[in-house]
Chain A
Amino acid sequence: MANKLYPDATAALDGLLFDGMTIMSGGFGLCGIPENLIAALRASGVKGLTCISNNAGVDGFGLGLLLETRQIARMISSYVGENKEFERQYLAGELQLEFNPQGTLAERIRAGGAGIPGFYTKTGVGTLVAQGKEHKDFGGETYIMETGLVADVSIVKAWKADPYGNLVFRKTARNFNPMMATAGKVTVAEVEELVPAGSLDPDHVHTPGIFVQRLFVGTDHEKRIEQRTVRQREAV
């Protein structure tokens, strides 16, 4: 078996990074983001990045860390509303931005990973998103063509992995991670726990190991909560 295990994020990214590359980064908001890998990207100094990620982190955390250091040149995202530095760079023309509807983004990544170069969807017909795209009618309804996305490197976050790279995600931290794992020429997985071979139920594997080339156990996961909402216990 090829060894997929690396000691840490820096080692796991070694030899993969170059200026101007495209990186997919998993997560929704700050949930399920590869914290150690983002920190290692920042420390590497790699720049001119195109980042494909549903969101852009917040100021000082998540992909916000790479915006601070101007390492990102272009973002493909569905929603970036939580980041003031992003806003400043975008309005100053320092950062390119391509908005995709969230489902279109998810499907473009899924398609890219599955070797599907394009597909048609109703989402965005009649909006700015449809401009310049091929339109085609199916059964009397109009659809637009969207293209598949791939990345030089995908960085994903999982809960558990075995040494073969089989991944299990936890709750809503799954989000974009499984599709991104399929769409990276090289996929690096940051996990909370490495379990022995044979201890994951094969019926419960979310991402089969074929999609994961490198993995390591992350440390000091902060798992910052963006909106802490609670309810009160009713008095008995």
Chain B
Amino acid sequence: MWTRDNQAARAAQELRDGFYVNLGIGMPTLVANFIPAGVDVTLQSENGMLGMGPFPFAGEEDPDLINAGKQTITELDRTSYFSSADSFAMIRGGHVDLSILGAMEVADNGDIANWMIPGKMVKGMGGAMDLVAGVKKIIVLMEHNARDGSPKFRQACTLPLTGKGVVDMVISDLAVLARPAKGAAFRLIELAPGMDLDTLRARTEGHFEA
């Protein structure tokens, strides 16, 4: 079983030198703590910033400088600022190499649901639909099973979709599932320590190749 930090570190192994990357809110933000030595990546924040730096030191917070999670952050020597329209031109125009985001459900055809639970309060999709539709590679970080034990990698999503057929890789606390191309089947790439194939299958509803 992997911890959230283990999952984030595993996701960081997918970063390549020179990548422009958008990290979603929650577990994906942890990926920034595990960028491998010698790999230089530029973080994009969809509210209008390229080259996102770490949190500021106490007393140095700037209310005009936040990330998409509304957290105070800092700039780097490479930083640029731009409007939301330019930001989503980067995202929707296919200029961002990788997006790592959370999900409530992923289906074995690459569908993802991560923005809405009908009947409960709907907060909105923010930039998630744009990211999954426009970014070159989509990695999902999520728990393999929901709190009630139900599988989150499914034959079909039961919740309203964020995007159709868009997910390339799922890194859960139990395993890494990935596919070589959109439209291909997911394959088991890696098992977390202590996990075996039979247990994984028992805890998974969606199809994957071993």
Contact = CB atoms under 8 A, between A and B. Distances in A.
Interface stretch (B7-15, B34-42, B62-70): B62-70
A194 to B, nearest CB: 18
B124 A99 contact: yes
Contacts of B65: 171-172
Nearest to A124: B129
Interface string A93-129: 0000001011111110110000000000111111111
B6 interface: no
Interface string A70-89: 00000001111110000100
B83 A129 contact: no
A123 B121 contact: no
Interface stretch (B143-151, B160-168, B173-181, B192-200): B160-168
Contacts of B54: 231
B70 A230 contact: no
A213 interface: no
Interface of A: 28-32, 54, 77-82, 87, 90-91, 99, 101-107, 109-110, 121-129, 159, 169-179, 206, 223-233
B58 interface: yes
Contact of B72 (A80, A110, A169, A230): A230
Interface in B44-98: 45-49, 54-58, 60-73, 75, 81-85, 87-88, 91-92
Contacts of B45: 172
Contacts of B70: 28-31, 82, 226-227
B61 to A, nearest CB: 6
Contacts of A206: 83
Contacts of A79: 123-126
B88 A77 contact: no
Contact of A175 (B48, B75, B91): B48
A127 B82 CA distance: 28
11 contacts: A29-B66, A30-B63, A77-B124, A99-B125, A101-B127, A126-B161, A127-B160, A171-B81, A174-B81, A230-B55, A230-B57
A229 B62 CA distance: 11
A54 B46 CA distance: 12
B66 A103 contact: no
Contacts of B129: 101, 103-104, 123-124, 127, 129
Q: What interface size band does chain B fall in?
A: 35 or more
A125 to B, nearest CB: 6
A102 B72 contact: no
Contacts of B66: 28-29, 31, 172, 225-227
Interface of B: 45-49, 54-58, 60-73, 75, 81-85, 87-88, 91-92, 111, 116, 121-130, 133-134, 160-165
A148 to B, nearest CB: 12
Given A28-B70, A80-B123, 20 more contacts: A28-B84, A30-B63, A32-B64, A78-B126, A78-B127, A79-B123, A80-B124, A102-B84, A105-B84, A106-B83, A106-B84, A106-B85, A109-B85, A126-B111, A127-B163, A127-B164, A171-B49, A225-B72, A228-B61, A230-B55
A122 B160 contact: no
Given A106-B83, A106-B87, A28 B124 contact: no
A82 B126 CA distance: 12
A218 to B, nearest CB: 14
Nearest to B123: A81
B183 to A, nearest CB: 12
A99 B92 CA distance: 18
A31 B92 contact: no
Tell me which of B62, B72, B85, B163 has the highest count of chain A C-beta atoms within 10 A of its own C-beta. B85
A121 B66 CA distance: 27
A95 to B, nearest CB: 12
B133 A179 contact: no
